[in-house]
Homo-oligomer: A and B are copies of this chain.
Amino acid sequence: MAPILFTRGAPSLDIIDQEGLRDAAQQAFTKDPGGTFAYGTSVGYVPLREWIAEKHGVDVNQVLVTNGSMQADAFLFELLVSPGDDVVVEAPTYDRTLLNLRQRGAKVTAIDLQTDGIDVDAFQTLLESGTRPSLAHIIPNFQNPAGYTLSAEKRARLLALAAQHDFVLFEDDPYYEVRFEGTPLPTMLSQDENNRVVYASSFSKTMCPGIRCGYLVGPADVIAKVQKIATNTYISPNMVAQSIVNEFCRSGRIDQSVATVRVALRERKDALVNALKRELPDAVYTAPQGGYFMWVELPGVSIEKLFPVAKEHGVEFVKGSDFLLEGGDNAMRMAFSGVTPEQIDEGITRLATAVRSL
């Protein structure tokens, strides 16, 4: 019995536009062999940098294109986070961000994530108590791992707090384009009047992860400093890959790819919700309006105990506790991006059998 994996936040191959990627490579390599095959500079492939700047309505020198958005995070943390610095994250949050911040020696404070985003009251109390974070890490849309989205009101409050208390608001937004329901909310970047926001996104969710192309948008002086770190790290990011991304974007292929992804993800989310209703009616969750993930709590069930039993039953997920400094004993992260509706249905059936066997 092949295991059904709700573990990894990655798209299944059937929703990647393989033909479009092949075409984009041919076009890109033919149209601009010089820019594609030579060393570039650490700002990234220039036409793609321009496309991103236009998309976000910013000056081109506010953009840096990197080898995936995690590399962008790493550069930004190298610039802004020194050992002992206070840093604020959401609880739960992306496990790799947590790990990287702790490895840099940051004093990480995790503030509860509510279904409409981080608990801004608690954040404000922390700031008023004298904590001076250098950075707050926020995943505004369809958060990983919870799937929740930051409300418009909280976005405004965070911008005000960042301006007042002088910290960098790191808006980590890889899922923005993969909204399959509801109305998009403006980014904090687009509302930032005080140069406090640094924004990151990626093409992993709209093209494919293997292309490893992410980017930062922020104040020109911050971007210039990050650029220096990037130059010293790798001279230039992958020009071949970024040239393919550029062609994929400018040819309009990306719009079609995003449309495909949205339809598939909504079907998968629906399949997950329906299967849970049927198989595990006590499960607690808020169905997301986009993205890859749903946070599912099973009251009274020890996820620590469930985990190996579920595996024996052929279904895997990530334990909620992996995304928290403490707690999460009844919670799981269910990624629905890499499994078909049929697999989801079968997977939740297996999960329920595992729960009943405890």
Bound-complex Cα distance A266 to B42 (A): 30
Residue A34 interfacial (CB < 8 Å): yes
Bound-complex Cα distance A103 to B243 (A): 31
Given contacts A212-B237, A238-B241, A239-B212, contact A37 B16 (CB under 8 A): yes
Tell me how many chains of this kind the complex includes. Answer: 2
Chain A contacts with B in 33-55, Cβ cutoff 8 A:
33-40
Bound-complex Cα distance A13 to B233 (A): 24
Establish whether residues B38 and A18, one from each chain, have CB atoms under 8 Å apart when the complex forms: no
Instruction: Write the chain B residue with the least CB distance to A71.
Output: B234
Establish whether residues B70 and A67, one from each chain, have CB atoms under 8 Å apart when the complex forms: no
**Interface locus among A166-174, A203-211, A322-330:** A203-211
**Interface locus among A22-30, A133-141, A152-160, A177-185:** A22-30
**CB-defined contacts of A8 to chain B, threshold 8 Å:** 39
Establish whether residues B210 and A240, one from each chain, have CB atoms under 8 Å apart when the complex forms: yes
Establish whether residues A40 and B70, one from each chain, have CB atoms under 8 Å apart when the complex forms: no
The number of chain A residues with a CB under 8 A from chain B is: 46
Establish whether residues A100 and B232, one from each chain, have CB atoms under 8 Å apart when the complex forms: yes
**CB-defined contacts of A240 to chain B, threshold 8 Å:** 21, 208, 210-212, 240-241, 244
Establish whether residues A68 and B234, one from each chain, have CB atoms under 8 Å apart when the complex forms: yes
Instruction: Write the chain B residue with the least CB distance to A25.
Output: B25
Most chain B beta carbons < 10 A, residue from A16, A210, A235, A238: A210
**CB-defined contacts of A237 to chain B, threshold 8 Å:** 67, 212
A-B contact pairs, 5 of them (CB 8 A): A18-B29, A39-B210, A99-B232, A209-B239, A240-B240
Interface residues of A, Cβ cutoff 8 Å to B: 8, 10, 13, 16, 18, 21-22, 25-26, 29-30, 33-40, 67-68, 70-71, 74, 96, 99-100, 103, 204, 208-212, 232-241, 243-244
